[in-house]
Amino acid sequence: MIRKLTMVSTFVLLAMTGSVSAAEYGTPAEAKAMLDKAVAAIQSDKGKALTMFTKGEGGFKDRDLYPYCGGPDGNFTAHPTLVGKSLKDLKDKSGRALGEEVYAAAKPGTVSEVSYMWPRPGQTDPVAKVAYVTKVGDQVCGVGYYK
């Protein structure tokens, strides 16, 4: 009986641990929903939206998910740490021209995917990441999730 209880307890603990780590990072559906919400916010009030994205306010920061945007000059207009720096010149950790790909893929009214390699928050080894990107007005915006 005790052995059976121990096995059940171990199974429950493993199941709970798996679901906790799965919830540690945002999902593709959550990233897409955040991008949709970001587009609506920009359409409503671009200046306010960009400030909210950068500060992570109004639900625009959820674990590893956040929107970022770049303006017509290629510089970040919204990002937790990179506002004013070049999005267009950004390279992923394997040297791919990530920023150029984001700008090329972003089209008004369409959500495209850009895949790249980037470390998870607090880590140094790059892993596969995908950004959903679109263009809204003069802004190129995206939300990325880890695979």
**What DSSP string runs through the chain?**
-HHHHHHHHHHHHHHHHHHHHHTTS--HHHHHHHHHHHHHHHHH-HHHHHHHHHHT-TT--BTTB-EEEE-TTSBEEE-TTTTTSBSTT---TTS--HHHHHHHH-BBTB-EEEEEEEEPTT--SEEEEEEEEEEETTEEEEEEEE-
> Which tokens belong to 76?
């970040």
Pick the CATH number of 25-146 from 1.10.150.20, 3.40.50.300, 3.10.620.30, 3.30.450.20: 3.30.450.20
| Predicted pLDDT at 18 | 42
Q: What is the pTM of this model?
A: 0.83
The tens digit of pLDDT for each residue in 11-37 reads 444 444 444 445 899 999 999 999 999
pLDDT at res. 121: 85
- Domain segments of the chain as ranges: 25-146
What angle in degrees, to the nearest 10, is found between the helix axes of 46-55 and 28-44? Answer: 140
